[in-house]
Amino acid sequence: MRYGTFDDEKLEYCITQPDTPLPWINYLGTEDFFGLISNTAGGYCFYRDARLRRLTRYRYNNVPADSGGRYLYLRDRQTDDYWSPTWQPVQSTLDHYSCRHGLGYTVIASERKGIAFSGCYFIPIGENLEIWDITITNRRKEEADLSLFSFIEFCLWDAQDDATNFQRNYNIAEVEVEGSTIFHKTEYRERRNHFAFFHCSDPIAGFDTQREAFLGRYRGFDQPQAVEQGVSFNSIATSWQPIGSHQVQFHLSGDESRRIIFLLGYHENPRSQKFDPPESNTLNKKTVYPIIREWEHPERVDRAFSDLKSYWKGILQKFSVRTPVNHVDRMINTWNAYQCMVTFNLSRSASYFESGIGRGMGFRDSNQDLLGFMHMDPERARQRILDLAATQLENGGAYHQYQPLTKRGNNDIGSGFNDDPLWLVLSTSAYLRETGDYSILEESVPFENQPGSEQPLLEHLDRCISYTKERLGPHGLPLIGRADWNDCLNLNCFSDSPGQSFQTTTNREGKNAESVFIGGLFVLAANAYADILDILQQTEKSTRIRSYANEMAKVTDMAGWDGQWFLRAYDDQGAAVGSHHCTEGKIFIEPQGICTMAGIGLDNGHAVQALNSLNAYLSGKDGIALLWPAFTHYYINLGEITSYPPGYKENGSVFCHTNPWIMIAETKLGDGDRALDYYLKICPSFREEISEIHRCEPYVYAQTIAGPESPTPGEAKNSWLTGTAAWNYVAITQYILGIRPELTGLRVEPIIPKDWEGFQVVRDFRGIRYNISVRRKGKGNHCQLNIDGQDIEGTVIPLSVVEGKKQVMVQAIIQ
């Protein structure tokens, strides 16, 4: 069953039923100001940091689901009927409903009893405000007499504190109202110099800013007293719960429309100009009015909306594809690219599964997100790499997370996830392959943000490599630390106290437990680093690094080989994890992927065998499970992974992030059919038809799909903020389609299914547009390239061949 359809022309997903299995959300905002919006206008917005600068309140895990958002109420003053034109929160029957999620905007439209509504929500590029562009149309023959009430609940800035510190927070709220603008200024009198504003372009009949006045005692959002009675109380919040609600009253004759623009924004005043008059406690609004006056104009809004569309058009045209499979096209051309942008912007901080208060920017997460983002905006990617590197520790390790507002490492979680540093090498390598901008390696970057500790980025990469080298265990494999990519494989944790964090509790010295996964990752990263050093002509060093990679490849292939697949790890006692000797968790997905990607076992048949074993034991109709058999009870020596019931999350769900590694691995073995087959199983568009089982949005990847050993196989969770986005994008574009930036030029080396006749790609690379047309002539993978009429050797188009051109035509024949 479906709850909507893709509109591939308009690059939108159109939801036609409001009660989707879960809220299906979208993101607003491009750089500093962001919003989450669900298909029934739920969600919230924040400036830069979802925890520290939250503008509006949202209650996660609430009843009914998805309570709180950008609410509007329409009231028919002739009949006293009132409803929510976005369905929530009143949930009255709508004669028509649609929600179109587009790139950076959402349009919700509805109709009830002849009153049509359309609301377009977006954040203009470069602005710190969201726009609700509302049009109400009277489709009745007779005149309609209507009120429109707006409603948002302000958050007292720090979302964590807001949700917990009531003894203080019920005493501090402050607002001001002037004309049609409501200003939220809690804590402004003391140390803050920012405030929020909620403005309506029309003159208002009344307003409310105290929640209880608007809602009435013991009432929910679904039946506010103000709306029911058709009056606003002009309440001024002093303490308790500040809200913003405007009431606009208007008449519409038959077929007449009214357009009303709401602005919800964030503004900072210079510290010396906070108040007006200066000695008062009254907000200085002089600095914000020009912004409000500019944005309440419909023409300005229209222009900004078309700018947003052009912005996305510009980004998407950097890579577009036409293949025989529509699911691939719409994901790569639109939704996958879009999700890569969202994960780049937000890492794992704010979604409908990530509360915005827990995790900031993850070190390994953001480095991997970059892999799918690089070509979209290399400038921003460059800055992100430098920000990440600046949180690295002098010993080469990394803070696991940092807060976006301060860009400082997060002490609560600390470091010691031993895979972390290696991802920085891979993201930097991807940046260099995309741009050829080696100047980034000379950028002077501090450690732990400490002034005076600056070293060139290249030195940071060096330390990433030595961090692993200096932490090898009894088999010569890398020590795992608190965890590797799998945050839940906590081999040094040994926790027996409820509530202890698996990730930060360490009860073993950490000198024994080793990770085969980090072994593979090290080989991948060290070789990528050596390639860079070759270009820099640092031959001696590159030879040394390559020898590290070779040694590690050998060790991993010996100590990490179980006979039919790669082991996952060795625990603190030196027992193998992910071995046929184990009774549970015999085989894991991660090492099969990463080792093959790193080239381990390609020449002795191990890789083929590993992927065949994986196919036999882990692959199912909903994708490839993380492990098998799932753990049925808690193993203290393995940690959080065994805390999940079988088939969920790291304990044997289809943890989607890892599936593209296998797709890439399959292309290394030349099997395009298997690679694509694996893709389609987790592809949200392909799964759209089973939306009542999958439950998450059909336009973005979810982190996890319940595995075959769970009671609910096929059920997805944790959509949006997942490394699945970047890795799928890379697996498809760079390995299946085979259009892969290299340090020496653009590679075109498709490994596609046997029955594909070909495909077309347009790809911008280092200032040149490559029009690539691939045609299959035989069943093999051999690829012959022809550039502007000239055959070339090999599959990398050398930079010298295309120098000075703006466009090139690439014909590729596969046989």
Which residue number, 121 or 485, has a Cβ lying nearer to ligand BGC?
A: 485
623 forms bridges with which residues in the sheet? 620
> Using the rule CB under 6 A, is 20 a contact of ligand NOJ?
no
Give me the sheet containing 702-705, strands edge to edge.
654-655, 702-705, 716-719
Type of residue found at 799: L
364 binds, among ligand NOJ, ligand BGC, none (CB under 5 to 8 A by kind): ligand NOJ
In angstroms, rounded to a whole number, what is the distance separating the alpha carbons of residues 755 and 757?
A: 6
Binding mask 615-654 for ligand NOJ (x = CB under 6 A): -----------------------------------x----
Residues 6+ apart with CB under 8 A from 2: 688, 689, 691, 698
Which range, of 50-58, 300-308, 481-489, 803-811, touches ligand NOJ by CB under 6 A? Answer: 481-489
Supply the DSSP string of 602-661, one letter for each residue. SSSSHHHHHHHHHHHHTEETTEE-SEESPP-S--TTTGGGGGSPTTSTTTTSEEGGGHHH
Q: What is the DSSP letter of 442?
A: G
Which range, of 74-82, 219-227, 484-492, 786-794, touches ligand NOJ by CB under 6 A? Answer: 484-492
Minimum Å distance from CB 626 to ligand NOJ? 9
Q: Is 487 annotated in the active site?
A: yes
- Catalytic residue, from 133, 487, 557, 622: name it: 487
Minimum Å distance from CB 657 to ligand BGC? 9
Measured in whole angstroms, how far is the alpha carbon of residue 528 from the centre of its chain?
Answer: 25
Which residue number, 133 or 640, has a Cβ lying nearer to ligand BGC?
A: 640
> Using the rule CB under 6 A, is 650 a contact of ligand BGC?
yes
Question: Which residue's C-beta sits nearest to ligand NOJ?
Answer: 487
User: How many C-alpha atoms does 336 have within 13 Å on its Cβ side?
Assistant: 28
Binding mask 329-348 for ligand NOJ (x = CB under 6 A): -------------------x
Minimum Å distance from CB 413 to ligand BGC? 8
365 binds, among ligand BGC, ligand NOJ, none (CB under 5 to 8 A by kind): ligand NOJ
Do residues 449 and 598 make contact, with C-beta atoms less than 8 angstroms apart? no
- Asked whether the bond before 18 is cis by omega within 30 degrees of 0, the reply is no
In this structure, the number of other CB atoms found within 10 A of the CB of residue 595 comes to 32
Residues in the chain: 815
503 binds, among ligand NOJ, ligand BGC, none (CB under 5 to 8 A by kind): ligand BGC
Binding mask 362-401 for ligand NOJ (x = CB under 6 A): x-xx------------------------------------
- Which residue of 108, 341, 342, 488 would you call a contact of ligand BGC, by CB under 6 A? 488
- Tell me how far CA of residue 586 lies from CA of 211, 248, 304, 442, 614, in angstroms: 55, 64, 55, 45, 11
- Which residue of 487, 531, 688, 749 would you call a contact of ligand NOJ, by CB under 6 A? 487
Supply the DSSP string of 678-744, one letter for each residue. HHHHH-TTTTGGGHHHH-S-TTS-EEEE--TTSSSTT-EEEESSSTHHHHHHHIIIIIIS-EEEETT
Site for ligand BGC in 498-527 (CB under 6 A): 503
Minimum Å distance from CB 497 to ligand BGC? 16
Retrieve residue 547's tokens: 């020898």
Retrieve residue 91's tokens: 């949930």
The counts of H helices and E strands in the chain are 21, 42
> Using the rule CB under 6 A, is 720 a contact of ligand NOJ?
no
Which range, of 93-101, 358-366, 442-450, 471-479, touches ligand NOJ by CB under 6 A? Answer: 358-366
Q: Catalog residues that contact ligand NOJ under the rule CB under 6 A.
A: 348, 362, 364-365, 485-488, 650
Q: Catalog residues that contact ligand BGC under the rule CB under 6 A.
A: 487-488, 503, 640, 649-650
Instruction: State the catalytic residues.
Output: 487
